[in-house]
Amino acid sequence: MPFWIELIVSLLLILGSVFALIGALGLYRLPDFFTRLHGPTKATTLGVGSIVIASMVFFSWRNGTPSLHELLITIFLFFTAPVSAHMMAKAAMQQKLPLNDKTQGKPWE
Amino acid sequence: MLEYVVPLCMTLLGTAMLLNTLRLLKGPDMPDRVLALDTLYINGLAMIVLFGIWLASDLFFEAALLIAVMGFVSTVAVSKHLLHGDIID
Amino acid sequence: MKILPHPLLTIFLTLLWLLLNNTVAFGQLLLGLFLGWVIPLLAGRFLLKVPPVCKPFKLCLFLLLILYDIVVANLHVARLVLGSPRKLRPAFVEVPMDIEDEFILTILTSIASLTPGTVSAGLSTDHRTLLLHVLDTDKPQDVAEELKTRYEAPLLEIFRCSST
């Protein structure tokens, strides 16, 4: 395997897993539900997206033909992450979850 | 180089999944657990893709895609259940 | 009944089928075209009405801007997560919406969730107000203004055909 392909794949993999880890860290240590929502919707989506793109580059080289179907997972994740975040936020507002003291403004309902 | 990078990434992702599991156990409320599960399945998907690179096998793509689709549907279904008490409007 | 109700959807479904099978073989192309023809016919009444795109070039530029903002959003969230959680100043902001079309509204709320610092948390039943949660801000109103000028105005311009 040529060095530069290996380099690209490795960089994408490391970048992706670091972002996934940051998303999980945000989920673990931020104070209330609505702040926790930010980590997974952004960091985890991009992290997993770049891991999947690394796999795309790897298999394209290995099979000798372009292997684009991993792109489907990335696109799907980018479409669905905001939708599920929105649904969970609505559920949380309806259940009147406790908020961080410093929150400005009010949720609905 | 890849034989060192892939285990490193697996360790990082494993730590991420461990943190998600801790949040899943800790709660404190239902939406928190749903969010933790949502993140957990996305990270598990990444783990499967990584495993596919490690074994250099194309077969894991379908599993990853299925997990993505099923995970999204179940997250939305549980959120709907929390919102209205039933799933279909 | 029209024979080909949604030509763009047909092309999209064919591409999706080819991507899913990871091939451009002739047989799969035929099967993809067939599925792309049958599915819009069968699902016709459930489909959302997609407004016509008037400025395709502008749409491409806008997509690049979104991609750039997604990366910026990740660095932003990473910095806040690794910093001290006590210093966060989260806020709820209500943003009045000028968009009436459902499809564009969906796109805008998704963009708001993926771009720096904000997650869309609710939409009022009359589709006039969007509730945003901001992770860290001094002036919540500035965030609302930025959403309107940076994303809503270009979206309206891309999809508004009557003015040209």
Domain boundaries, chain A: 3-94
Q: Residue C140: which of A41, A81, A104 has the nearest Cβ?
A: A104
Spell out the residues 6+ positions from residue B29 whose beta carbon is closer than 8 angstroms to its own: A33, A92, A95, A97
Tokens of B33: 């657990």
Q: Binning pLDDT at 50, 70 and 90, where does residue A109 land?
A: low
Rounded Cα gap, residues C53 and C103, in angstroms:
12
- Cβ of A84 within 8 Å of Cβ of B79? The answer is yes
Q: C127 near C97, Cβ under 8 Å?
A: yes
Q: Say whether pLDDT at C111 is over 70.
A: yes
pLDDT of residue C83: 80
Q: Which residues of A touch B6 (CB under 8 A)?
A: 13
Number of Cβ within 10 Å of residue A47's Cβ equals 28
The answer to whether B34 faces chain A, any CB pair under 8 Å, is yes
Helix H or strand E encompassing C130: strand C129-134
pLDDT of residue B87: 65
Q: Say whether pLDDT at A96 is over 80.
A: no
Chain B CA closest to residue A30: B23
B89 inside domain: no
B18-35 confidence digits (pLDDT tens): 999 998 898 788 888 888
Query: Which is more confident, C16 or C128?
Result: C16
Spell out the residues 6+ positions from residue A8 whose beta carbon is closer than 8 angstroms to its own: A54, A57
pLDDT of residue B88: 66
For residues A76-92, give the mean pLDDT: 87
Q: Say whether pLDDT at A77 is over 80.
A: yes
Rounded Cα gap, residues A35 and A41, in angstroms:
11
pLDDT of residue B18: 92
Q: A100 near A35, Cβ under 8 Å?
A: yes
pLDDT of residue C46: 76
Domain boundaries, chain C: 7-46, 56-159
Average pLDDT value over all residues in chain C: 81
Q: Binning pLDDT at 50, 70 and 90, where does residue A65 land?
A: confident
The answer to whether C60 faces chain A, any CB pair under 8 Å, is no
Mutate to test the interface with B, among A14, A28, A42, A77 (most CBs of B within 10 A): A28
Average pLDDT value over all residues in chain B: 87
C16-69 confidence digits (pLDDT tens): 888 888 778 888 888 988 888 888 888 877 777 777 777 778 888 888 988 888
Chain A CA closest to residue C113: A82
Number of Cβ within 10 Å of residue A1's Cβ equals 11
Q: Say whether pLDDT at A40 is over 50.
A: yes
For residues B27-56, give the mean pLDDT: 88
Q: B78 near B41, Cβ under 8 Å?
A: no
* Token pair 């997974």 in the structure block, residue: A40
3-state secondary structure of C92: strand
Q: Residue A87: which of B5, B6, B76 has the nearest Cβ?
A: B76
Q: Residue B22: which of A23, A28, A40 has the nearest Cβ?
A: A28
pLDDT of residue C164: 44
Rounded Cα gap, residues B11 and B17, in angstroms:
10
ipTM for this prediction: 0.85
Q: What is the share, in percent, of chain C residues with pLDDT greater than 90? A: 0
pLDDT of residue C77: 84
Query: Which is more confident, B70 or B2?
Result: B70
The answer to whether A47 faces chain B, any CB pair under 8 Å, is yes
Rounded Cα gap, residues B18 and A38, in angstroms:
19
pLDDT of residue B15: 92
Q: Say whether pLDDT at C98 is over 70.
A: yes
User: Taking the model in full, what pTM does it have?
Assistant: 0.86
Q: Residue A10: which of B2, B29, B68 has the nearest Cβ?
A: B2
Q: Which residues of B touch A17 (CB under 8 A)?
A: 8-9, 12-13, 16, 46
Helix H or strand E encompassing C37: helix C26-43
Please tell me the total count of domains within chain B.
1
Q: Binning pLDDT at 50, 70 and 90, where does residue C153 land?
A: confident
Mutate to test the interface with C, among A50, A55, A86 (most CBs of C within 10 A): A86
Average pLDDT value over all residues in chain A: 84
